[in-house]
Amino acid sequence: MRMSEFIIREAISANLAATQKEDVIREMVENLRVAGYFKGGDSEDVVKAILKRELLSSTGIGDGVAIPHAKHSSVERLVGAVAISPKGVPFDSVDNDPVYVLIMLISPQERPSEHLRALEGVSRCLKDKNFVRSLRQATTPQQIWDLISNHERGA
């Protein structure tokens, strides 16, 4: 699945304000809430679900990238957010390095295959080191969206 099929354009952040793992997750969920996903109390529940998953093992996969995720019944299809932290966030990553690029995925319950197809799409983009470098240098959500859609078009 292409990233542009599940990343919510209005929930992209080029400059995360938060500097700690939990706050970053909360800020990204809030971006999705503002974009029209999750109702009032649901967003805190989503944050808790993501933090619970992080306790099992960090989704910081190394090279400055993290893919925090959870299943939650408040979404009817898989939705994602992208955020860049120019300063980097400690994320208990496998390589112990801070995280600069975050891709958040919230899946409906009982649809695991969609999650795996989304991860494949994320992998296809992030394997390209130039793409990741450009992403980290982006200063506006529009630039991030353009980078994703251009990459998927093979431009």
Catalytic residue positions, numbered: 69
SS3 annotation, 12-60 = CECCCCCCCHHHHHHHHHHHHHHCCCCCHHHHHHHHHHHHHHHHHCCCE
Q: Does 117 bind another protein (CB under 8 A)?
A: yes
Site for another protein (CB under 8 A): which residue of 2, 26, 72, 115? 115
Sign of the torsion angle spanned by Cα atoms 116, 50, 14, 40: positive
Q: Does 36 bind another protein (CB under 8 A)?
A: no
Contacts of 92 (CB under 8 A, 6+ apart): 21, 54, 58, 60
Is 33 or 72 the residue whose CB approaches another protein more closely? 72
Give least dist CB 112 to another protein, A. Answer: 4
Is 17 or 55 the residue whose CB approaches another protein more closely? 55
Q: Does 5 bind another protein (CB under 8 A)?
A: no
Instruction: For helices 112-126 and 129-137, give the axis angle rounded to 10 degrees.
Output: 90
Residues near another protein (CB under 8 A): 56-57, 59, 61-63, 67, 69, 94, 112-113, 115-117, 119-120, 122-124, 126-127
